[in-house]
Structure 1
């Protein structure tokens, strides 16, 4: 009897060691991925900044992210934008995604699943696939709008005011029940808000779980993403502020209250931008 207990104890000790090693690998890979994506984002933003911006009617400048430079093809520009977008999203979302993945791992390991590494990768891939798709939609829309602004000076002159209005709307979204619901889903454990048939314990359901999580979090970040797109999509300062806002409202206690405080700041920025645009006009 004692021999059986000793064997059981060694098995439990072995599982505990494996769990600790797995968790350390998870944190190590996450830190490395964040460092690489942040470095790529900063280098790309600096490179784009070095190319300068185009002065536009209305006293503002257009980012080269939406333009085809000499020697570039549109497929090349699109691929470059998408690569930068994915790196930027990984750097911006990973600080708040890691705790969610950690809760997922704990929930899945609690029902005896041992393939935590591959399943975690699939959830993360599904999550960032949603953001990649968002970038694939944003790029042609941004290019088309930039082309119209260059062809129509009257439209270009209205951009500063439009930016202020969009920022104001983005701030207002922070106070809505829609925002609160999706924020709660991003802060909860797997299965509470996400309509998953069961905890993801195979590749297909892990992928779908990542997709659902990505959709909830993209909805949650809709207002802050709007600010990023209209204020400075490749500006590292804007990216840093938006990343901090996303991370704080996801991880801080009383996230809904934090989101509303962030909303007050964004609304104030929108009012200032509108006032500035009207003054310049």
Structure 2
């Protein structure tokens, strides 16, 4: 297949991959095990408890593995559309190489690794908070305060300098590729480029992703809305204004959560 033909197929195949991730998430959310996409334990699944008991440390390992799989599926659905310009530029740069598919896979793997690390930390903190809430009922009474804090933090962060430094890196995909690609150690460069770009994406969007823990990580509608906002921020000329308007809205939402409890 010639380069021109591959170029025409790249965007449709990429769109099909992202669409597949959304379809799987929707099917998961509509199925009998929908609650396991949220904060519940996977160990409650029929037959899983017995399997965990037969493997040393099986409960922890299986719980972590399945939570990670769910998180990475969400990242594929939400974040891959935002990095399409980077992948398209990288594909053009490596189009004549025999190992171009491997290099592209390594780039995506590095990007996913950065978000997987963030997800592990976020899920760990979320699990600790749920454990504390179960052991200390008073904490549950003030859960609204934590929710308002997360929403308010996301709103304020939309105006921070570090947010826009990271966003600038995400909005300049060709420059980013040229800065991180030497070609001398192609596979290493590809993976590290993905990690670096993923780190900047985390720096740009981490507070928005935390909102999923406030409203439920399995909410497909919420993920669609967040994914659309993040894609617009990164890829549209008016992205900065969209981000700031969102910040105002989130701060107002945080105040609306707090108001009934102090009046």
Q: TM-score range by the shorter chain?
A: 0.7 to 0.9
Residue equivalent to 1:153: 137
State the SS of the aligned residue for 1:221. Answer: helix
Q: Is the 8 A contact 1:171 1:264 kept in 2?
A: yes
1:108 to 1:193, Cα distance in 2 relative to 1, 3 A: closer
List per-residue Cα deviations over 1:110-136 (Å, max 9, x = no partner). Answer: xx6564333222111110111122222
- 2:162 corresponds to which of 159, 165, 178: 178
Report matched runs for 1:1-281 at 5 Å. 18-47=2-31, 51=35, 63-65=38-40, 68-69=43-44, 72=49, 73-108=59-94, 113=97, 115-192=99-176, 196=180, 198=182, 202-278=186-262
Greater shift, 219-228 or 269-278, is seen at 269-278
Q: Is the Cα contact below 8 Å between 2:110 and 2:198 reproduced in 1?
A: yes
Q: Which stretch has the larger CA shift, 38-47 or 127-136?
A: 38-47
TM-score of the aligned structures, taking structure 1 as reference length: 0.79
Pair 1:255–1:21, CA change in 2 (3 A):
same
Q: Is the 8 A contact 1:194 1:213 kept in 2?
A: no
The answer on whether the counterparts of 1:190 and 1:199 sit within 8 Å (CA) in structure 2 is: no
Structure 2: distance between partners of 1:157 and 1:85: 28
Flag the structure with larger Rg: 1
Q: CA separation of 1:203/1:77 partners in 2, compared to 1, >3 Å: closer, same or farther?
A: same
Number of residue-to-residue matches in the alignment:
252
> Is the alpha carbon distance of 1:156 and 1:100 closer, same or farther for their aligned partners in structure 2, counting shifts above 3 Å?
same
Deviations, residues 87-124 of structure 1 (Å, cap 9, x unaligned) = 11100011111122112333455xx6564333222111
Separation in 1 of the partners of 2:218 and 2:84?
23
Select between 27-36 and 67-76 the one with higher mean Cα deviation. Answer: 67-76
TM-score (norm 2): 0.84
Structure 2 contact 108–194 (Cα < 8 Å) conserved? yes
* Contact 2:86 2:177 (C-alpha < 8 Å) held by counterparts: no
Give, in angstroms, the shift of residue 70 of structure 1.
6.4
Check the 8 A contact 1:191/1:198 in 2, yes or no. Answer: no
Contact 1:224/1:242 (<8 A) preserved: yes
Gaps of 5+ in 1: 1-16, 53-62
How far has the Cα of 1:38 moved from its partner?
Answer: 0.9
